[in-house]
């Protein structure tokens, strides 16, 4: 009798604990979530993060606070999330540079491309090759002609090893020119890099459209090429790289996603996946994203991981072929 009662008590207690745990999990998130943007304010990473933070809280059930943790080409912010608590309250605004290009080039960083929980891709963003609006180079051919003639122009990037850096190296490689044909000027973030060219402190930037669209519309930058297969509606007068005879440069494309540290609880993953699926149809998010020149491209985790793996392998091949790998 006693053993039966004790057994029943144990079962009831177990059920109670399970119910409490389930209720706690179901309540996620019970407080605001920190979304780490690994690059500086005003750049493509920051803009994508703030677009999400403004539109997804209604689906998540709590607020999203954007925090810029910058440094080392996005490695500082990415590491902070990768090594952080696995509770779902700190997630990463992932970027092609910090999550694919940098891991492919720099083997010394404290994380690998797949050391995260992939919650979903958000958007893709083409790259545009720009010069200052007052530049003597009126089009792509003018610019490339000057480079081939030995004009030592300066190009601005978000830092060594970022996609803005790799993109120019890929451009020079496609032109069959050495990587030192241009002078690299690294900045702390794409926003500062774009501002440098807009302010005539550097000559060239090959940057996400979202990171330079305001400068183009403000007549401070002139775009001479875009990495889409078709002309972009936001900059219809800018020729594509394919039109200009460089279709390989279509591989240079930016993207954003939401990653968490590896091993996030299933309940957290499910909440984010469900919220992103709803965000996919959200008119405000779509409008804001398209307004930045991005292509809304929300994908589920498995599809996202496969996409990122292909990106990583593409950058790995380029880095190894051109001798850019840091070991």
Q: What is the mean pLDDT of the chain?
A: 90
Tens digit of pLDDT for each residue in 75-92?
Answer: 999 999 999 999 999 999
**Is residue 145 very low, low, confident or very high in pLDDT (cuts 50, 70, 90)?**
very high
pLDDT exceeds cutoff 90 at 188: no
Per DSSP, what are the bridge partners of residue 67? 36
**CA neighbor of 130 nearest in space, from 162, 155, 95:** 155
pLDDT-derived band of residue 26, with 50, 70 and 90 as boundaries? low
Same-domain status, 102 and 140: no
Q: Tell which wins on pLDDT, 14 or 226.
A: 226
pLDDT given at position 8? 32
Domain closes at, from 220, 251, 282: 251
**Same domain, residue pair 264 and 244:** no
Same domain, 157 and 192: yes
Question: Would residue 211 count as lying in a domain?
Answer: yes
4 vs 37 pLDDT, higher one: 37
Q: Is 228 exposed, middle or buried (0-12, 13-18, 19+ CB in 10 A)?
A: buried
Question: What is the domain extent for residue 106?
Answer: 25-125+255-321
User: Beta strand 253-261 with 116-132: parallel, antiparallel or unpaired?
Assistant: antiparallel
* CATH number of the domain residue 235 falls in: 3.40.190.10
CA distance 311 to 307: 6
pLDDT class of 321 with cuts at 50, 70, 90: confident
Integer Cα distance of 234 and 291 in angstroms:
8
Going by their DSSP bridges, the two strands 64-68 and 90-95 should be labelled as unpaired
For the stretch 15-24, pLDDT in tens is: 334 334 444 4
* Residue 10 placed within a domain: no
Max avg pLDDT among 25-34, 36-45, 203-212: 203-212
Are 142 and 237 part of one and the same domain? yes
Same domain, 37 and 84: yes
Same domain, 131 and 121: no
pLDDT at 5: 37
Q: Is residue 15 one of the residues assigned to a domain? A: no
Query: Are both 271 and 235 inside the same structural domain?
Result: no
What pLDDT does residue 322 have? 84
**246 lies in a domain?**
yes
Which tens digit of pLDDT belongs to each residue from 62-75?
Answer: 999 999 999 998 99
Tell me the C-alpha to C-alpha distance, in Å, between residue 282 and each of 75, 233, 259, 303: 31, 20, 20, 21
How far apart are alpha carbons 215 and 135 in whole angstroms? 14
Dihedrals phi, psi of 112, to nearest 5 degrees: -105, 170
Question: Would residue 137 count as lying in a domain?
Answer: yes
Per DSSP, the residues of 164-200 read HHHHHHHHHHHTT--GGGSEEEE-SSHHHHHHHHHTT
Is the same domain home to 223 and 316?
no
pLDDT confidence of residue 175:
94
Q: Is the pLDDT of residue 186 over 80?
A: yes
SS percent in the chain: helix, strand, coil, step 5: 45, 20, 30
Phi then psi dihedrals of residue 284, to 5 deg = -65, -45
In a domain? residue 284: yes
How many CB atoms are closer than 10 A to CB 226?
A: 27
Inter-axis angle of helices 44-55 and 190-198, nearest 10: 120
Domain boundary residue, one of 231, 251, 271: 251
Q: For the chain, how many structural domains are there in total?
A: 2
β-bridge mates for residue 186, sequence order: 157
Q: Are 197 and 295 contained in the same domain? A: no
pLDDT digit string (tens) for 283-295? 999 999 998 889 8
Share of the chain above pLDDT 70, in %: 92
Average pLDDT on 299-308 reads 96
Residue 6 within any structural domain of the chain: no
Q: Which residues sit opposite 154 in a β-bridge?
A: 183
Residue 152: inside a domain: yes
Q: Can you tell me the distance from the alpha carbon of 225 to that of 213, in angstroms, rounded to the nearest whole number?
A: 13
CATH of residue 110 = 3.40.190.150
Do you know the residue count of the chain? Answer: 327
What integer pLDDT is reported at residue 96 of this predicted model? 93
- 79 and 158 in a common domain: no
Same domain flag for 210 and 271? no
Residues 150 and 185 in one domain: yes
Helices (H) and strands (E) in the chain, counts: 13, 10
Last residue of a domain, one of 229, 251, 273: 251
């Amino acid at each position: 009798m006693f053993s039966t009662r004790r057994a029943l008590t144990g079962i009831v207690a177990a059920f109670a604990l399970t119910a409490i745990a389930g209720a706690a999990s179901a309540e996620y998130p019970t407080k605001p979530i920190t979304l780490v943007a690994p690059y500086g304010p005003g750049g493509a990473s920051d803009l994508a993060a703030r677009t999400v933070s403004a539109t997804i809280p209604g689906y998540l059930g709590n607020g999203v606070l954007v925090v810029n943790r910058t440094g080392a080409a996005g490695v500082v912010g990415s590491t902070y999330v990768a090594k952080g608590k696995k509770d779902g309250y700190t997630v990463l605004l992932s970027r092609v540079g910090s999550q694919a290009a940098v891991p492919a080039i720099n083997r010394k960083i404290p994380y690998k491309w797949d050391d995260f929980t992939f919650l979903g891709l958000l958007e893709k963003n083409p790259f545009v090759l720009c010069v200052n609006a007052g530049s003597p180079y009126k089009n792509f051919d003018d610019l490339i002609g000057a480079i081939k003639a030995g004009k030592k122009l300066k190009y601005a990037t978000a830092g060594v090893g970022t996609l803005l850096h790799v993109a120019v190296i890929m451009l020079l490689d496609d032109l069959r020119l050495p990587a030192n044909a241009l002078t690299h000027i690294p900045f702390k973030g794409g926003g500062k890099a774009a501002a440098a060219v807009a302010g005539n402190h550097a000559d060239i930037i090959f940057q996400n459209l979202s990171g330079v669209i305001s400068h183009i519309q403000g007549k401070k930058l002139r775009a001479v090429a875009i990495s889409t297969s078709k002309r972009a509606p936001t900059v219809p007068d800018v020729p594509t790289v394919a039109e200009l005879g460089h279709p390989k440069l279509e591989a240079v494309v930016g993207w954003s996603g939401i990653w968490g540290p590896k091993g996030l609880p299933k309940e957290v993953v499910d909440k984010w996946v469900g919220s992103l699926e709803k965000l996919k149809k959200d008119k405000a998010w779509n409008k804001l994203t398209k307004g930045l020149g991005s292509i809304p491209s929300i994908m589920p985790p498995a599809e996202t991981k496969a996409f990122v793996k292909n990106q990583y392998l593409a950058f790995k091949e380029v880095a190894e072929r051109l001798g850019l790998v840091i070991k």
